[in-house]
Chains A and B, each alone.
Chain A
Amino acid sequence: LLRGRRGLIPYLLLAPGLLWLVLFFLYPLFQVFLASFWSGSVERGYTFSLSNWTNYPDAIIPVLPHVGRSLLYSVVATVLTFLIAYPLAYTIAIRGGRAKNLLLFLVVAPFFTSFLLRTLSWKIILSDNGVVFGPLKAIGLVPDDFRVLATPMAVVAGITYNFLPFMTLPIYVALEKIDLRLVEAAQDLYAGPWRRGGTIAGAVVGGGVVAGLAVAFGWPLLVPTLLAAVLGALVGRLLVSEAFVRVTFPLSLPGVFAGSLLTFIPAMGDYVNAEFLGNPDSRMLGNVIQNRFLTQNNFPEASALSFILMAGILVIVLIYTRLLGTEQLTSSRI
């Protein structure tokens, strides 16, 4: 139907959308690049000159700690969302049965309330004597002066929570596509439980993640790491099978790839979690960009920072794509 004959039709159908995307997406990106070479102010007007490349060092050097924090928080949050999302997506996709659609709906249901309100309600949940820490402190499980709100932990917790569905859905889509006969074939070919491997992998992942968190947030290192390693070993020993390691997990990697980008990229630019849940010492690059643009009206430096953020993300995505060698980014996101 409607094929080939009139070569103009597809272009006519595309024209309004392409116009919009070029005019209000591509061109503004170019404009940001230009603006990063501006000098002047909103009142006096701006002039463009390549000699204003100094905007870049001027903008980035004072905020290097923020850049470091953005990277740290985003990586930690991406790893945490992966650990939370994978078993969730696996259960829904492979074991969901008739509850599949309902569970999937529950995963996206948080999106139906305001992002800002959800983040604010973590402020209620994590507050020093709130629903979580009030009881824990009352029974003495947590020391009285322990706090999460207004610390980097709360920022990471907020990012992890807010982007969890972005990780869960692509992994779900990838797992759902797997032909389960492949798993049966693996079992027919003597894929059994994976006791020793599962124990070791579980211990390494559990211990490694908690050790990383302990270093990042200044927790005591030894006891939590050991506990997590033991717990991880137990879960790995009980749940991981050879068929999962050899068949299911490799086939779900495109989803993991898409999900981690969909989590990492918005996390890198986020400033709401840091503003609502953090403190002045946990501000991220997003907070700086927002502040330079909207409070200080410092367009040249703000543009330089935006351009660095965009370029940095592109570089990270390219390296990541190389490493994983996946080209299914577009196809596995819906």
Chain B
Amino acid sequence: MAATVVASSPRQAGLGARLRRLADRYLLFTYTSLAVIYLLLPVAIIILFSFNNPTGRRNFVWQEFSIDAWLHPFAVPGLASSVGLSLVIAAVSTLVATVIGTLMALALVRYDFRGRRATDSLIFLPMATPEIVMGASLLTLFVSVGGPPFFPLSIITILIAHILFNISYVVVTVRARLSGFPRHLEEAAMDLGANEWQTFWRVTFPLILPGIIAAALLAFSLSIDDFVITNFTAGQTQTFPMFIYAQAKVGVPVQVYVIGSVIFLVAVISVGLTTLAGRRQPARG
């Protein structure tokens, strides 16, 4: 069939094929560049507007360049304490969820036991639940208990919630690392006389450490950015996202954009470093 087309109108067929090749080569990459720009545009706006000098409280229109907010990032009352609180909550919930989640991942990968499937679904379900339902159900629980430590809402209730939604993500991340695990290295260690405890700490743990670190980074970033669930479990306590939400009604101060930019840069750098460290890992082993 191609032959007849070429025979009847050679120039047209050649043009079609050439267009097709050009499209194949450039169209997808042009599109991908545009998509990446689209994804990063709001981040660029946040960084750009952290250098704005707005006339009122509303940081929505570009006025003039200023590094004032970067020099005095905590000049807004309440901002420093909310950022501090978010960091504490993120650190504690990451630590607890990473330990609990890693233990669960080990159990799920290493052992056959009754109730595996049920456990699997129980771990998966929180990730498939809309955040608003999770937050609302925790609030209902806390209110119906009606006494300490659940009520009044406080940093404790926020921590309970953050550990909860982090556990599933830690399990999934660590398990992904564990399932491609070179089992024979453990067997070799045991053959060479290491007991189970020594084998775990000297062989297993160092090998799954990158997975644990990845899980912890994910948990930390989920926690520090969580708004919806925190909104339901925080009461009067103000985390950084809660602070932004409260300010959004009257106008977000430039300093918030500064903190947002700093968090972005720190996250990008730490992920970059972990990736580099992860790349070196297999070379050593």
Contacts and interface: CB of A to CB of B under 8 A. Distances in A.
Interface string B154-166: 0000001101100
B225 A306 contact: no
B257 A117 contact: yes
Interface residues of B, number: 93
A200 to B, nearest CB: 17
B36 A107 contact: yes
A164 interface: yes
Contacts of A114: 225, 240-241, 244, 260, 263
B74 interface: no
Interface string A129-168: 0000000000000000000000000000000010011000
Contacts of B138: 24, 28
A94 B108 CA distance: 32
A334 interface: yes
B124 A101 contact: no
Contacts of A286: 130, 132
A92 interface: yes
A60 B230 CA distance: 25
Which secondary structure dominates where chain A touches chain B? helix
B237 to A, nearest CB: 14
B6 interface: no
Interface in A43-84: 46, 84
Interface string A305-325: 010011001000100000000
B192 interface: no
B128 A109 contact: no
A84 to B, nearest CB: 6
Contacts, number: 256
A223 interface: no
A87 interface: yes
A238 B20 contact: yes
A3 interface: yes
B255 interface: no
7 contacts: A9-B107, A25-B137, A29-B133, A113-B264, A115-B241, A118-B43, A299-B140
Interface of B: 19-20, 23-24, 27-29, 31-32, 35-36, 38-43, 45-46, 49, 60-61, 100-101, 103-104, 106-108, 110-113, 119-120, 122-134, 136-141, 143-144, 160-161, 163-164, 167, 171-173, 176, 183, 186-187, 190, 196, 199, 221, 225, 227-228, 231-232, 240-241, 244-245, 248, 252, 256-257, 260-261, 263-264, 267-268, 271, 275
The 3 A-B residue pairs whose C-beta atoms are closest, nearest first, are A269-B130, A28-B137, A112-B267
Interface of A: 1-4, 7, 9-11, 13-14, 16-18, 20-22, 24-29, 31-32, 34-35, 42, 46, 84, 87-88, 90-92, 95, 101, 103, 105-107, 109-118, 120-125, 127, 161, 164-165, 193, 235, 238-239, 261, 265-266, 268-272, 276, 286, 289-290, 293-294, 299, 302-303, 306, 309-310, 313, 317, 330, 333-334
